Structure formats: C-alpha cells, structure tokens
Amino acid sequence: MLIPDKITAYINKRTSDIWKIENDYPKYFQKIIIVPSIAESKNLPVLINSLEQNDELELLNTLLLIVVNNTVSSTEEVKNDNQKTIDYLKNINSRVNISFIDACSAGKEMDDKNGGVGLARKIGMDLALTKFDYYSLNKKIMICTDADCNVEPYYLTKISQEFNRNNYEAAVVNFAHDIKGDDEETKAIICYEIFLRYYVLGLNFAKSDYAFHTIGSTMLSTPEAYVKVEGMNKRKAAEDFYFLEKLAKIYPIGELKSTYVYPSKRGSWRVPFGTGRSVDRFLTNTKDEYLLYDPKSFIVLKTWLQVFNDNSISNQSDLIRISKNIHPALSDFLSQQDFGNFINKVLLKNNNPNEIEKQKHFWFDAFRTLKLIHYLRDETYPNINMFDAIDELLKMMNIGNNIKRNSAIPELEIQKEYLKLLRKIQS
C-alpha cells in the first residue's frame, strides 16, 4: 500500500518502533477503531459483541485495533489481567477484524513517566496510519472508543454515511450513559453527564467555537487531519480535550447525532480525573457534585466573544477597554493571560482580517475558555445548585422546561428527566 507522503513523513518522525500490530491482516481498511485497554478482560467481549451486530459490509471494511497496555510499575493484578486479554485476542473468532498491540508484556510496557491513556491512544492511532486503504474514494476514518463501551448496530453505517455526506475531517459521536436503575453509581453518572452536557450547552449559548463534547470514546478524525495536528498527545488524562482542541483550531468539529456510544458508568482508577474519578467522588461523598457553573458566567463569555470576534473594531487595543466594561473580572483574567502582549505582537502587526480571525480563534481556545469560566467561578460567580443552574440557562436560551421539582436536589426520577431533556436538546 502506497501511503501519502505527509503521512509517511509523520510515521517516520513521530512513531515508535517498540510496538507493532499483532494478528495483522494482509488487507487495508476504510475505518479503524482504536481502543486502549488496561485490565479490561471482562469488558472487551461486550464491546466486541456490540460491534458484531453491525452491518457485514461495514465490518469487512473496518479494523478493530486494541492497545493492551500497562506501565512498568503497574500492579501484578493489572498485568495478569492484560495477559488474559492478550490470550483472548490471540484465539478470538469474530465477525470483526481484530488486531492488537502488545504494550503490556515485559520489554513492551509503557514507561512510568509517559504511560497512560494518552500514550496508549497515540500508539494505536500512529500504527493505524499504516493500515488504511488510501486508494479508497471513501473517507478514511480513525474511530476512538474505550474498552468499557458498547455501540449500536448501525454505529459504523452512520459514521460512514455522515462523514462522507458532510465531508468531515473531525467529529464526535453522541453518547449516553446507562441511567437505568437507582443504585449509587447510577445517581453518580447522572450527575456527571448533566455536568458535561450543561457546560457544552453553556458554550452553545455563548456561541463558542469550542462547543462540543471532549470524550475520548466519541472522537473521530481522518488520518490526514490526525497528521495535520501532529497526532495524539501523551497526557495521562484530558488527552481527549487537548486532541479535539488541536483539531478544532483547524477544522470544524462535526457532531454525529444519528448514533450513540454507551460508555460505562463505573468508577475507575485508570485516570486522575474524568468520568471514573467523578463517579468515585460521588460515591465517597468527598465533594458536592450537585453544583454547576453559574449561568451568569456564560453571559460574560457570550458578551466577550461578540466583542472579541467583531471584525468592525478597527483598533484592537480597544478590546482591553471594552473588556473592563463587560466585567471587571474578565478584564483581570485577560490581564493575567497577557492579552495586551497578544494584541501588540499579533493583532496590531497584522493587516489581514482572515489572519487576525485565525489568530483570535487560536488564542482564545477551549482551554482558555474553560480557564475563564473557572476564574469567574472562583472570583465572582460561585457554583450554584445544579438544577437551579439548568433552569436558569434554559430560560436564558428560551428553551421550554416543564419539569416540576419540590426541592433543591429532587428525587432520582426527576434528575433523570433533567438529563433526558439535556440529551434531547443536544440531539
């Protein structure tokens, strides 16, 4: 297979020769699903079974690439479970084309400094570049998901259809956690998914360019886009956030709303923060999880973005004065972020409106947006009751809300109604 020059250059420069694809196939694929797996021997069969329900033609053109990984210092329990997974994958008989990467056996383990979910994804995504059918006229798609997920029977079909129809270079798939039942894990995951959806809804209200979910099990990109942003990072957590941020600086992030990924609602030790740790905090009652950002923070963000992105403001230095009028805390935040230097060194030295727009998009990115919301939370608008925040934000957006509650933290069924409403709005 002749690999495009830019992708070959990336492979030669940035990929490691420590790891290789095992149980390899002589053919090449239009779609490759990359799955990091650490101590997931019980969950992987569930994911594989859900993929097996997909269309036969889609499966023929898809490779499932599993990165079985641990660090040198991982526990014996983890290492033993991974070896169990390796044995399972060596002997599996499935409708799905399945290859794997051994990043867990002696001599192949990830180092303690860099090892984690980011590096595991990177290993898999880098090696996936060598297995695409670059002669195909259809979009080549890198699909990220996790070992503790399952997918719908038309998951692959919908991804193919929407990517090709919309000419996407990067996108995210819709997601939903299992909220059946009334156990503590269910309560915890409802709380966490509400938090995720509320934040993105607030960004939508503010008309942010970064109003999309950043969940590793939902990420999609073409190999060309992957190489363009210099690949996956090695972060032990939030690797999904920073990867999608890089993509969003160059490509619009599409949203595939016609199919779902179903992540696990379990607590987890695998990453230092994120879904699993949020569930753990809820279960141990170490933090009040029934709090959300005050919607007033999103009003500040919206007003700022309107001004910041206003091409009619000819003197960019005016942005500092205007920010003070929007909110003193916004002005303080921008000062801390060295906004004046950005104006003087980038904006005032550029006469090209398109380049100015691009540089603004790059500077006030997803991370700086989140930092502003956190600054407003810490300095001006403390977090408020979760359900009060949702009610207020929906009212600000003129979205109908007929949910009735009689307490600050309503009964579980009412909490589910709030989550279902947020899902409906974002679908």
In 236-274, alpha helices (H): 239-248
H or E element at residue 99 = strand 97-103
Q: What is the token pair recorded at 289?
A: 């999880």
Question: Tokens 């009751």 belong to which residue?
Answer: 385
pLDDT truncated to tens, each residue of the chain (427 aa)? 789 999 999 999 988 889 999 999 999 999 999 999 999 999 999 999 999 999 999 999 999 999 999 999 999 999 999 999 999 999 999 999 999 999 999 999 999 999 999 999 999 999 999 999 999 999 999 999 999 999 999 999 999 999 999 999 999 999 999 999 888 889 999 999 999 999 999 999 999 999 999 999 999 999 999 999 999 999 998 999 999 999 999 999 999 999 999 998 755 534 454 555 555 555 566 567 899 999 999 999 999 999 999 988 778 889 999 999 999 999 999 999 999 999 999 988 888 889 999 999 999 999 999 999 999 999 999 999 999 999 999 999 999 999 999 999 999 999 999 999 999 999 8
Question: Tokens 């600054």 belong to which residue?
Answer: 375
Q: How far is CA 76 from the centre of its chain?
A: 30
Give the DSSP per-residue string, 21-63: EES--SS-BSEEEEEEESS-TTTHHHHHHHHHTS-HHHHHTEE
* Sign, CA torsion 363/173/422/412: negative
**Among residues 245, 19, 253, 244, which one has the least CA distance to residue 130?**
19
Q: What is the token pair recorded at 377?
A: 């939370």
Which residues have CB under 8 Å from 108's CB, separation 6+?
A: 18, 19, 102
What is the model's pLDDT at position 271? 47
- Domain covering 5-203+211-285, topology: Spore Coat Polysaccharide Biosynthesis Protein SpsA; Chain A (3.90.550)
H or E element at residue 144 = strand 141-144
pTM for this entry: 0.93
Give dist(CA 310, CA 347) in Å, integer.
13
